[in-house]
Structure 1
Amino acid sequence: MSDTTFSATPFPKVSAMNSTQQFLDNMEPTTGIGKWVCHLLIEEGVIGVLGNLLVCFVILRVKFLHTMTNYLLVNLAVADMLVCLECIFYGLIYYENCKIIDYVPKTFGGKVVFCCFLQSNFLGWALSYASAYNLCVVTFERYVALVHPLQYARKLTATRMKTLIALIWVTSFLFSLPFLFTLKPSNDPDLACSEIEYQDNTFHILLGVFAFFLSYLLPLTLMSWAYYKIHVTLKRQAKALNLQHARAAAYDLVIARQRLVRMLTMVLGALIILWTPINTNFLLCINPTFSFCGSKGFKYFEAITCIMLYFNSVINPIIYELKYKKFRQGLKLTFCCCHKSHGANTVDIAMVPL
């Protein structure tokens, strides 16, 4: 039975793939690149935890940010924060160049838990699913509020949204269950896990296609379609109000909604840019005949895509600070006692549905 190394990405270790951990472990000591990569991942994780924790703190503390949209952003920030914590945990425990604990469970039960729930990347996949689908929930809430505003209060009650959020988290872990069957406890007392060998590569191919569709293609397709419909609706509303010479407050409300939707679209755009390389790489390397997956250049490419993947969970708080006016106001109100409120004519872009 072949022993396996830990993969730095939240993707399964399959026979057709080189893992980023292999990249980190096999780099020549004189280059220092492997150590640089794992240090960068740990630094990303620390920054991401602090940034997403700040988002939760500001939104929950400032009363004018207590809206359905912002509560969903808190849930998204929690998912991203857990992804960053996982990045730190794996960096400090598993990466050969950075690990601080060389831990191998001694009991069979300990190895089962260690291999199936930690080293198999079950948690990494579950949290990645949660991050993607929580962003889908944010998109769904904005879609109903702006495209079907008359149905908002009836469809999106607080109870239904709580149920939907709970369902997202449960489903994310259920979708990740197949990854429990990629590793098993090793018979070697000095090694924790071994890769499960199947008669052919069918399981890994089906698992790869399943994961690519559910974690990447499906949520991005749904969100892209929803934001397209939202942009069309808001553009039509702005044009109609402009032609009717509507009151300035009504027109400003539409413009404010457009700004918030643009901010959320940037979050989606960052997800597409930062997730596409590693998902493309993952899908291509399911095929064992693709020669690039065994090349030296692939090891560099995979390490870069891994850094990009985790950076997605770091960048969202930065986008909020740069593009979300109400969040900036809440940040000032939280940390600056001399913050001055704006005039009464300022439109609240916290986004009431009408």
Structure 2
Amino acid sequence: MNQSLGACLNKMPYADSPKIKSLYITFELIIAVLAIIGNFLVCLSITRTKKLRTITNYFLVSLAVADMLVGLVAIPCAVLTDVGRPHRDLPLCLLIISVLMILTQSSILSLLAVAAERYMAILLPFQYQRLMNPRAACVTLLLTWSLAVLSGCVPVIDWQKQPENSMYCIFTCMVRMSFMVYCNFFCFLLIPLIAMFIIYARIFLIVRGQLRRIPQVRTNTFCTGQEDTGNMEATEMQKAISIFLLLFLFTVCWMPINLINCVLFFCPTCDVPMYIILVAILLSHANSALNPLLYAYRMRSFRRALMEMWKVV
């Protein structure tokens, strides 16, 4: 461990501030409720609306399930680890921390699967029709969740090297900061994010070039198929933009806490104010509550499905 037990205990957020503890827990509970309700409605609208059962939405359901579990499981676990609740069962504490990491990894891997699916749908349509089907989507989802579980279980696998004399379940005490920076951030978060930004940049550049050529083609031909192709590409472009906004939102919400981890790891003498750490933690959890709002705002099909369900109720 690169931090002593005493240093970890001194960084307990609420050691001398019950007011901060109550305020933090209140915000966490609000985020949890919004994440549960919003993502449940997303899953319900897709399962009840046949038109929404597309390959893309299979992956969005996976993301919504992960976000809903953040509200149901991860946020309560995070409150326990951030508060530094006394415990006597070290493996149970590490299991709680692993759940947090598994759900984070499942979210980023679901976004990566959506990016790959959008790339094939827009730039490789013939291969897409041959390869992508509900069965292939389910296999991909099984693979993403399996990888998330494997990466998230590292703290449990390494449990014998944790400080057995610790009476508190604190995230920074139980997980090696070197693992959080090099493995969790650089490998499992930063590399997929860079790959996805490259994928979407290529999609936008190619589709924009194709859309610019279509008006010129229309002036030289009376073939209506060109117009249909243009409309289809424009629709796919709108879908790609909506998914890209999910990726951008994920980056904005999760980057601060990971950058703070880097600062604490590479600069042990640096002191990050506790309120900044707490805000970064809340922002990372808020991502799960904001995603459904983005679905409803950007995707007309979701808005219609939600309105129809509301009328039925």
| TM-score normalized by the length of structure 2 | 0.85
Partner of residue 282 from structure 2, selected from 287, 307, 316: 307
| 2:108 maps to 1:114 | no
Partner of 1:22: 12
CA–CA distance in 2 between the matches of 1:145 and 1:214?
27
Q: Which has the higher helix share?
A: 2
CA–CA distance in 2 between the matches of 1:336 and 1:133?
35
Are the structure 2 counterparts of residues 222 and 195 from structure 1 closer, same or farther at C-alpha, using a change threshold of 3 Å? closer
Contact 1:128 1:215 (8 Å CA) reproduced = no
Partner of residue 295 from structure 2, selected from 320, 329, 336: 320
Q: What are the superposed Cα offsets for residues 212-270 of structure 1, whole Å, 9 maximum, x if unpaired?
A: 11332011111101111111122122112222126444332222222211111111110
SS in 1 for 2:17: coil
Contact 1:41 1:307 (8 Å CA) reproduced = yes
Are the structure 2 counterparts of residues 91 and 129 from structure 1 closer, same or farther at C-alpha, using a change threshold of 3 Å? closer
| 2:232 maps to 1:253 | yes
Give 1:21 shift.
7.7
Q: What are the superposed Cα offsets for residues 161-182 of structure 1, whole Å, 9 maximum, x if unpaired?
A: 2222111111111112322236
Give 1:14 shift.
5.0
CA–CA distance in 1 between the matches of 2:2 and 2:311?
48
Partner of 1:348: none
Contact 1:13 1:19 (8 Å CA) reproduced = no
Amino acid corresponding to residue 255 of structure 1 in structure 2: A
Amino acid corresponding to residue 177 of structure 1 in structure 2: C
| TM-score normalized by the length of structure 1 | 0.76
CA–CA distance in 1 between the matches of 2:173 and 2:36?
36
Partner of residue 213 from structure 1, selected from 186, 192, 204: 186
Contact 2:59 2:113 (8 Å CA) reproduced = yes
Q: % of aligned pairs identical?
A: 23
Contact 2:43 2:61 (8 Å CA) reproduced = yes
Contact 1:238 1:251 (8 Å CA) reproduced = yes
| 2:194 maps to 1:229 | no
RMSD: 3.2
CA–CA distance in 1 between the matches of 2:47 and 2:109?
22
Are the structure 2 counterparts of residues 15 and 52 from structure 1 closer, same or farther at C-alpha, using a change threshold of 3 Å? farther
Amino acid corresponding to residue 296 of structure 2 in structure 1: E
Contact 1:147 1:229 (8 Å CA) reproduced = no
Moved over 4 A (4+): 12-21, 91-96, 102-105, 182-188, 192-198
CA–CA distance in 2 between the matches of 1:328 and 1:241?
30
Amino acid corresponding to residue 281 of structure 1 in structure 2: I
Partner of 1:277: 256
CA–CA distance in 2 between the matches of 1:148 and 1:186?
53
CA–CA distance in 1 between the matches of 2:292 and 2:11?
28
Q: What are the superposed Cα offsets for residues 69-128 of structure 1, whole Å, 9 maximum, x if unpaired?
A: 1121111101111122224422665665xx9xx7845xxxxx24412312xx11101110
Amino acid corresponding to residue 12 of structure 2 in structure 1: Q
| 2:122 maps to 1:151 | no
Q: What are the superposed Cα offsets for residues 20-74 of structure 1, whole Å, 9 maximum, x if unpaired?
A: 9811x13434xx2331112101210111011001000001101111111112111
Contact 1:52 1:81 (8 Å CA) reproduced = yes
Partner of 2:138: 162
> Higher mean Cα deviation, 48-57 or 278-287?
278-287
Partner of 1:244: 217
Are the structure 2 counterparts of residues 197 and 92 from structure 1 closer, same or farther at C-alpha, using a change threshold of 3 Å? closer
Are the structure 2 counterparts of residues 277 and 58 from structure 1 closer, same or farther at C-alpha, using a change threshold of 3 Å? same
Are the structure 2 counterparts of residues 46 and 302 from structure 1 closer, same or farther at C-alpha, using a change threshold of 3 Å? same
Contact 2:58 2:137 (8 Å CA) reproduced = no
CA–CA distance in 2 between the matches of 1:238 and 1:286?
47
Q: Which runs of 5+ in 2 are unaligned?
A: none
Are the structure 2 counterparts of residues 149 and 194 from structure 1 closer, same or farther at C-alpha, using a change threshold of 3 Å? closer
Contact 1:116 1:184 (8 Å CA) reproduced = no
Partner of 2:42: 55
Contact 2:80 2:169 (8 Å CA) reproduced = no
